[in-house]
Structure 1
């Protein structure tokens, strides 16, 4: 079933909808002794591995967690996501791995879900029968399979829009584009003055996928989500048209020169934060630049705007930032669950929000403890887009299809595949999966 997020007042009134319990599905069975640990003082050592957050932020999480669980020692290993994913797969296949780890929703969640401990019994022991009502139902569902909760959501973000440096545009005498023709004209005017138009990390599959999804959701959202869920085909006319629109973006020069070979971090990020690009293709998690790069961006008037496409701008897609899970092979599942819950909806989630300035996954209204003044306007604009433009989730469910889609989009951008060929490659991957 297609997931349509309904987050009417996210960021000001929080995720208001609540859901019932997620069932106690037993995908391998929960350890009764470990569940009992949730209500008893936790002890022992647990290990956390992920690509996020930074070590400095996680140290703050550990310090806060230790105040509530003084007899638990938490060790950690953080690595770039590609290295982390390879290491995690190797460890889990060997029957080991960290006690607590993080996955992205969709493809990565499905890739590793066989190694995840079902958490419903732990959650009920810790929070009672109504524990699931603490979450927005759409957010919680991203870690659930067949009524079993295999992971707890962490943070929420959206993608498919543009960051715009209004200061740079004003200095160049260029208006914020409202239509696609406006965007092409703006790109030409900016390039003539030596300013990059949209800074894009074109070699990052996740990044190009976000913008293809925005285009496809504008052209034919039903066909897009049918293909994502396996009930439709990637060769549907609307999705081929979206590949054509993706190709046209490069033909029309709306991205910086060399975008196909650029990384989001830090090639495109540096262009934008240093005022060398007027726009940046990235998601709402880029709000963390006001925590990490305030010295660069604090003097600019920066906002978030819909991608200029279609009649009034493209839709956006959204998803939880991560799903924190307990390793089925862990020997200290009770303490591991406590850390997962602390990160998801405990005080640790506030530490993460204060770092990333993202949005809550809980039913309770939450805001960053201190929002830098320059971040207020773009965050408010993102909230408005969530209210008005959210098409559905952003993570492709199938690992095989996700990989094929990213590769196909890079090939189209590089001119080595036509839109028809790209759509066919993704459909072939879907059929093989």
Structure 2
């Protein structure tokens, strides 16, 4: 098997470090810090802080990071860092400050919505720039490899953070690298590099509630976007491009979701549909230990897809969720149980309030569906939808089904889809309802 020059150089780096350290210690904080010092010493001319300014006020609305990737002034950042300027160019403008003190205006020349990337151009020529790591471009850095992330956290100044490469995240639809390092707000869009200073990923997010759980966009997506920008003959209509990419992404998502299909899981006397798509996480809960003692037993399963897509500061979309609750009355009569089931089956869509600029008002329809076969219980079905104002043909949909075959127990099932085409929503809804069955 051929071994890349980068890998040989990396191995020699660690070998020389090993031989140079006192007492044969293979790795020390001093060794790690010397590598970080070398990387950071060369970085300032290539690093950027990117600020979104309210055009008429000249004051910053948000900050992020970026890094140069060409001698002619092209730089990479996150789409979410520049999204306001992309969607509302008359209201917002972009400005950069480099770590070497230079500053100026920026323009966005390309976006990759699914991978949260953007290419910006600045009036800077013949400046040093970052290159991409060969192993990362092939998708095969070694797990446990030390990486170094750079950016401007919380507007405190440019910083370098040491961490570990842990491979791609499991159970996610869009590829993300798990980086064990302390990314903080303001570092979004900065580079994470190997010991040789080559880009392995782009800082994108951190998981709140965890310790050193951070995420990178793999370098190959940034390189691909850079290539597309270089090949485009005319600047794109960026707002229209966001809509086009959102439509293409959701079409592929729901096609994949449909292809995976549903499997059955038992809840009381019912079989409830679950997906086999690998990018869902499912959790169960019960009210058995609640105080005071509940008057109805409720055992639930909640499955959420890691498919979220950032479109704007007030619009994250693309989520899919499947919920089931088996309810059995212990101290409720039939009327009281029916009241509880009505409360549990209320539609939940994200529209309304501050989201009205993105959505039309939701509309709901309720009906009863008789048993089509002996293994399917009769259902009370509620269908709610709201359309996206800016993105024609896309909807958020909620489908709720409540079994009607028993007076003391029922299954409440819910399918929630964001940014879905109408035909896809109808087809998936039919399959979901058909999969709600009796097990006895």
Give TM-score, length-normalised by structure 1.
Answer: 0.24
Higher strand proportion, which one? 2
Give TM-score, length-normalised by structure 2.
Answer: 0.24
Higher helix proportion, which one? 1
RCO higher in 1 or 2 (8 Å CA, sep ≥ 6)?
1
